[in-house]
Structure 1
């Protein structure tokens, strides 16, 4: 399913059709993404990307929320979606990344806003979180811009290639959604 966000931006549920383009985008942005994303060493081929897409499809078809390819002016520019859904507690976390040349244009903010709509309206979630490295100012700005509440900093909770990083945790409750 496609969600049209603006005249320039839309998201499309990840599918095997995205495999090669997504791998090429990852390769072209590997150095840029490496600053904040720990999984890059596990994606070394189109087949690795295909395996990742397969896992997101499996999760979604088992009742989890989907992950999406992000497009700007019909060009694949990133990925956004939900980490596994905790059905009992009706919670999930939103994750995202964008190719370097597409940053700073409000693309991901508008995409995450759409994910809030999907999570709270279609999946009846009670709480959505964003976890990001404490020093990742751009990712934190998205959460803050959209009205998420800063909850905590988890100390040295992620190994990022050569060091541990702290994570800032933000959340939004269904009762807070759209209340601004």
Structure 2
């Protein structure tokens, strides 16, 4: 994939989203829909290649407006998932991190490294002060990612999200810029 990338390590990078990658990204989603949709029901709205292109266009507009930051996660130059900062509040300098990873790439630390890289970009480049991760209480891998990346569980909110028509309890994790910087200084 030819795109601007932010290198995480020798294998991993975050890539700025490009419309030309829509077909590759859509094929990735299609090949692992049950896994990806288990906690992300909006993926069910991505039914065609045109839907994927429209999603990327929407995220690119959000990037231009400073309200949304999407990155493709690359492993050995192959897209294996996505990570973004959404629900951005520019006044406060906060946003929410969301991510998904193809099941064939799980249990390798890819998401944890990607979250740490996005935190670094958010705090050092985009001027954020606070990042959130909201996770379904039953999504054990994502709860572990938030904890491993230094986020603090600030609340468990009952019936806080709707997943396939059912209200779900969510854990809310927070990381402040000062906490992130302190973690690197120690």
TM-score interval, normalised by the smaller of the two chains? over 0.9
CA RMSD of aligned residues (A): 1.1
Distance 2:121 2:25 in 1: 23
User: Secondary structure of 1:176's partner?
Assistant: helix
Identify unmatched segments of 5+ residues in structure 1. Answer: none
Distance 2:162 2:105 in 1: 26
2:93 corresponds to which residue?
A: 90
Q: 2:150 aligns with which of 147, 151, 157?
A: 147
Q: Does 1:68 align with 2:65?
A: no
Distance 1:145 1:115 in 2: 14
CA apart distance, 1:138: 0.6
Q: Does 1:137 align with 2:140?
A: yes
2:36 corresponds to which residue?
A: 33
Q: Does 1:171 align with 2:174?
A: yes
Identify unmatched segments of 5+ residues in structure 2. Answer: none
- TM-score normalised by structure 1 residue count: 0.96
Distance 1:171 1:90 in 2: 13
Between 1:139-148 and 1:58-67, the stretch displaced more is 58-67
- TM-score normalised by structure 2 residue count: 0.93
Provide the aligned length of Structure 1 versus Structure 2: 180
Distance 1:6 1:84 in 2: 28
